[in-house]
Structure 1
């Protein structure tokens, strides 16, 4: 990943391949725009939340935020997702007792946090169709990722970045980008603390950029979620703490804890890490802090579910309230018969 943050020797070696990749992307999009490849439009508005920077940028908290905001405005949202690393081969409806390894950790977390209907599947069109068939009350669909899955027509596109911005600004494999920075979108959102400067995003200077902050809620014990405490209280103790993060950008989790005054040892794991019964056997700390995304997997393992040292740090996305209102206005136009995209 560090290689992709600058235009060094290795990035330059792969630059010709990145040019070929860009040509193929443009050719594929051109086929759709010219009508040689069709898009399927479902009966309700579709909002796509994605990123062009490979890896995690905070899409799951943003999806949860949108579900909550839409519901508060009287909508009935549903979610579709690829379910990264999910074993389910067919389109699958996520239930409360679903295994994270089958449906994916992020879709399970979204369903657990919001109780919204969630469907996972490699084919976004099939997932959307199943969602509407199983839950006809749904009147807006949020696609967790899927910017590059153009087979499903969309009405609102949200591109999410974090503090890494666009890296060196080059496409794969010379850089970290799945698509050019100039790709169309309706909203550009950056997952960034309030006091951090905006990174380079490659967008026009006058283009609006919305800042999203992830705020930690009350920390709860995995084996007994009724037991809670604040990060500030943890910071005031003399307990030895280890923080575990199997997410796309573990450092973001560790930085958030440090900003709250929590002194801990950071233990980064690969994104979507498959925990096992002895994952923490060698850890001698008094407290193990983890993300909710990791917790949905750990609570399904008896040995970890019973480990009283494990505490979960939930986060909530915070954005300008006008953001949700603008989205609602756009999808309201679609609901009343106007085609947006």
Structure 2
């Protein structure tokens, strides 16, 4: 039922159908309350905790996945290359503990969330999770005093943590029907100010750019024109032994020729279609198995899947690894992806940070 309801709303949020129109008056109330809440923090009525190091927030106003985790990983790598020593804080979706907690090599997605586990593994930088991001940041800095910049994975609407730079991420869905919850997919109005706009899409059209970064959306004079992000992945790694690899091109060749390999693909992310589209670009035509975002895989979704290869995202792989049956399933292969963005974006972010970093 939950999956069916999610599908219904996802469909309605991309158009202005009957259900969206019925909910539109409620969306005006939601939009107004969101603006009031943001205004209270801006005016200092509500207190925002400021950490002793600069804070960069990576977030979205479109509900669900737009690619924040790959962008966070890219940003951490870019900041490290520029001489910074970054740390990451996150809410940790599904975390069992509200208090600040470090993501270690033995942390599980059930304890700290799937995305923080992936970020820690891919970046090697300190990662802390907690319901209160400011408290998580303070705990991180106490444990790692050498860290001189904090990147927040998600948390755009978590105004209790003061921030120096806001990066708002969209994908090819743009702003959907342009309405806020519950009539549309937006947490805030598209005109919400930000420092940088990034769009995760294979193509940037003029209409898409105008919708996601309307005039006046820039904060502090930063250019509002969006930066394009592409997610690229060209290899698959066996879940049971990640050193065993095969290019997607080779897998596509084998599946399309005499070998007759059957390929399926599963994605428990906010926009599964983006993962499937990437695989099709690589020449594959997999059986598509879309799953709810943050799916825990405890329902054995592959038990009746007839396939020689089952391709999954890295975010899903960290949960599959926790289940012995899936960890030992030779059919499951992981497709790592990396964000590809113009390096000039990193230069502009670093330029805005210069002078804000404590000596």
Quickly name the TM-score band, shorter chain normalised: over 0.9
The 10-residue stretch of structure 1 (229-238 or 186-195) with the greater mean CA deviation from structure 2:
186-195
What does 1:189-208 align with in structure 2 at a 5 Å threshold?
189-194=198-203, 199=208, 200-201=211-212, 203-204=214-215, 207-208=224-225
Partner of 2:322: 300
| SS of alignment partner, residue 294 of structure 1 | helix
1:20-42 Cα deviation digits (max 9, x unpaired): 11221222122222221111110
TM-score between both structures, scaled by the size of structure 1: 0.95
Partner of 1:211: helix, strand, or coil?
A: strand
Q: Which moved more, 1:301-310 or 1:234-243?
A: 301-310
Are 2:67 and 1:58 aligned?
yes
Distance (whole Å) between structure 2 residues aligned to residue 277 and residue 162 of structure 1: 29
- What RMSD, in angstroms, separates the aligned Cα atoms of the two structures? 1.7
Query: Structure 1 residue aligned with 2:248, among 231, 236, 245?
Result: 231
The aligned residue for residue 74 of structure 1 is: 83
Structure 2: gaps (5+ residues): 1-9, 217-222, 255-259
In the other structure, the counterpart of 1:32 is 41
Match of 2:144 among 120, 131, 135: 135
Displacement of 1:43 after TM fit?
A: 0.6
Contiguous gaps of at least 5 residues in structure 1? none
Q: Secondary structure at the match of 2:33?
A: helix
Q: Deviations over 1:119-159 (max 9, x none)?
A: 11111111111111111111110000111011110000000
More displaced 10-residue stretch of structure 1: 256-265 or 198-207: 198-207
For 1:197 and 1:234, locate their aligned partners in 2 and report how far apart those are by CA, in whole Å.
36
Q: Does 1:260 align with 2:282?
A: yes
Query: What is the aligned partner in structure 2 of residue 121 from structure 1?
Result: 130
Give the alignment partner of residue 301 of structure 2, picking from 279, 288, 300.
279
Distance of 1:62 and 1:170 partners within structure 2 = 25
TM superposition outliers: structure 1 runs of 4+ over 4 Å: 194-198
Equivalent of 2:292 in 261, 270, 274: 270
Alignment match, 2:177: 168
- How many residue pairs were aligned? 337
- Distance in 2, matches of 1:207 and 1:196, equals 15
Structure 1 counterpart of 2:163: 154
* Residue in 2 that maps onto 1:47: 56
**Structure 2: how far apart are the matches of 1:303 and 1:335?**
47
Structure 1 96/277 Cα, relative in aligned 2: closer, same or farther at 3 Å? Answer: farther
Task: Tell me if the contact between 1:119 and 1:127 (Cα under 8 Å) persists in the aligned partners.
Answer: yes
CA distance in 2, matches of 1:194, 1:9: 30
TM-score scaled by structure 2?
A: 0.90
3-state SS of 2:351 partner? helix
